[in-house]
Every structure is written in structure tokens, then in C-alpha cells.
Amino acid sequence: MIVVMKPGAKESDVQAIIQKVEKAGCAVHPIIGENRVVIGVVGDGQIIDRRQIGRMHGVESVMPITKPYKAASREFKPEDTVFDVGGVTIGGSDVVIMAGPCSIEGRSELLEMAHACKEGGAHILRGGAYKPRTSPYAFQGLGEEGLRYLAEAREQTGMPVITEVMDPALVELVCDYADILQIGTRNMQNYALLNAVGKSGHPVMLKRSMSGTTKEWLMAAEYILSHGNERVILCERGIRANETETRNTFDLSAIPVAKALSHLPVIADPSHAAGKWEFVDSLAKGAVAAGADGLMIEVHGTPEEAWSDGRQSLKPKRFSKMVKELRGIAQAVGRDIPDNSRLVPSLPKNGVNGHADPAIEILI
């Protein structure tokens, strides 16, 4: 339920509500506004007498939350969730671009792509150190070695980094290196993992499962939010359907629907939706027009040699061209794709293997 305090309610009145709710075993999420305080209550609402709460000092109204996903619901928090990750604002008026290779294949390869992606307009670097693969014989990632390369790429470019975590036992390790934890489509309902990343307090991007409904997606986010971790991003990456010309079917409607039902930022992943590089930019434009708060794009210098997902990866030149075109789409719907020059390297750019800044070949 939501307890709306009267304008100018005393701090002692707010604390009295919080103490009563917590005594009943429910979690409390105060939202401090300029003129009033709203207290979100998450838990078994049946054990709390709403009428009794409504009669307490300073209370204006008490409203039930009808959605099963409480903390993720707009009923709980009407305004959009906006937060900063390493100097990048997620969920505001800006459209954020996450880009990089599907898999981290080596130090020099990742550093080269990191610089190329930043030059092309990216704000956040993506790269997989641990890879969930359909075949147990396929490349599974470099593990902690790959995480170290990600951290070095962040130091050289100033871009925050996002990578997938697959095992609750690895959450602490990945948090040591990454700025955002990614929960992949296969793990959307891995509740042990959701609880672990929720407890970490680290920013989390939750991908929708390939057959998950919007309700199931938001209920998965609820697991993370229930631990008080409010920095959660939703990611639409396409769902499984009968169509075979694309890897998945991009559910464009999921973007406005999720934003209508939830206050959480919504990112689109047109690379996994399309599965083919030639369709990625079109889907990206549609996502921005539909209200996406950001995009996740796979970029690789030589996609034909990529260790995973090369077919859907853009080359740097095409990625840069796409970002320039996306700016016009963003501006048409009242958004912007900001310049990333404010992301300053934390160490001097020594380039790859200790040489000067790498000469990044922008491939066609």
C-alpha cells in the first residue's frame, strides 16, 4: 500500500508510520518530495489495518497497490526512476547507448573496440566475461581475466561497464569489476540469482526471458527491488515466436507497456532481437521512437571472426552512422543522445600493449 502524508507533516509522524509498518514485518520505502512524503509499504498488506494507519497523525490518505509487483509498479512510484552510473544518467531525458562485443576475446581486441565504441557515440561498454551458451562445447568466456580487461577498458575510456553474471556465487566478484550487472534472458526467473544481485546493491539490468510475459518480467524485477536495490533497468531483447528470418521477434509494444506499468528505465537490445546486423539499426530507431531509455548494441571489428554472435554485430563504422541517425529520432520524440566527451579516462591512454593510443581502424 501507499501512505500519503499531508503537506508539511512532521518527521515524528512519518517515523511513527514507519515503525508501525516495520513492526508488522513489512518493508518501508519512503519517497521524499519537495512538499510531502509518500511511504511505500511492501509485504503482506493483510496484516496491516489500513483504516488504523489512515487515522494516524499527518496521514492524508492510504491507497492499496493493486499490482502483484509492488515496488516495480507506477502505483508505488509515479515518477520515473533516474540514477547515475559512473557519470551516465539512466532513465532521464537522455537515451543511453551501451555497446561492445558479445564476448571478451582478448585484451587488445576489447581495448580497440572500447575506443571505437566511444568514438562512435557509446556511453557504456558491454562485454561478456561469462557466456551462457546453448552448447556446452561453445566458448564460455574468459571469466575473471575478461573482467580485468573490462576494468582496464573503463580506465582508458572513462565509460562504465556492464557484463553478465550467471551464478550467485560470482556476484561479489563481478561487482568488484563491473558497474552494472546484467541478468540474461535465461536467468530472468533464476530467483537465487535475483536475490543475490538484489542484496548486492549494485545496478542491475534485467533482460526479459525469451517467453516471459510483461507481468513475469516485472515480478522478476520485484525480487531485486524487494532487497532495497532501486537501481534496476529492464531490457527488452525479443521473444521467441514462429518467425525464423530473425533470431527473435522484437516486441516493440513491450517498451511503452513496461514504461506505463513501471517506473523503471527500459533498454532495448535490437542486436539479439534481430540476430542479423542488417536489421539492427531499423529496430534501434523503432525502439527510440517507442520511448526506450537506451539501447544495447553488439559491435565487433571483424564480426566474421567473432567467437560468439558475429552475425548480429555491427562494425564500428556502421555503429557510428547509426548513432548519428538515432539522434534525429531521439530529438523528434523530445529526447537526446548526449555527447560522451564528459566521460574522462581515469588513467592516461597508454593504448594497446603500452604503445600510443591505438589507431582504431573503422571498418566498413
pLDDT tens, residue by residue, 68-80: 898 999 988 989 9
Would you give the end-to-end CA distance of the chain in angstroms? 55
Right CATH for 2-63 from 3.30.70.1140, 3.40.50.150, 3.40.225.10, 3.40.50.1460: 3.30.70.1140
Rounded-to-integer distance, Cα 29 and Cα 228, Å: 8
User: pLDDT per residue over 296-345, tens digit each?
Assistant: 999 999 999 999 999 999 999 999 999 999 999 999 999 999 999 999 99
pLDDT (0 to 100) of residue 45: 56
Distance of alpha carbon 274 from alpha carbon 250, whole angstroms: 7
Please give the CATH superfamily to which domain 83-332 belongs. Aldolase class I (3.20.20.70)
The answer to whether 337 touches 92, Cβ cutoff 8 Å, is no
How many angstroms separate the CA atoms of 268 and 257, rounded? 13
pLDDT of residue 351: 42
Cell of 208: 526479459
The pLDDT score that the predictor gives to residue 42 is 80
> What is the rounded distance in angstroms from the CA atom of residue 353 to the CA atom of residue 105?
15
- pLDDT score for 363: 35
pLDDT score recorded for residue 359: 39
Tally of CB atoms within 10 A around 43: 17
- What was the pLDDT predicted at 46? 60
CA dist 198 and 196 (Å) reads 5
Q: What is the pLDDT of residue 33?
A: 73
Q: Which residues of the chain have pLDDT under 70?
A: 44-47, 347-364
SS3 content of the chain, % helix, strand, coil (to 5): 35, 20, 45
pTM confidence score: 0.87
Q: Which 3 state secondary structure label does DSSP give 35?
A: coil
Cell numbers for 195: 536475490
Residue 180: count of CB within 10 angstroms of its CB? 22
| pLDDT score at 275 | 95
CA distance 130 to 138: 12
Domain parsing of the chain, residue ranges: 2-63, 83-332
pLDDT for 44: 64
Q: Which residue has the cell 507533516?
A: 9
- Give me the pLDDT at residue 347, please: 56
The pLDDT score that the predictor gives to residue 2 is 85
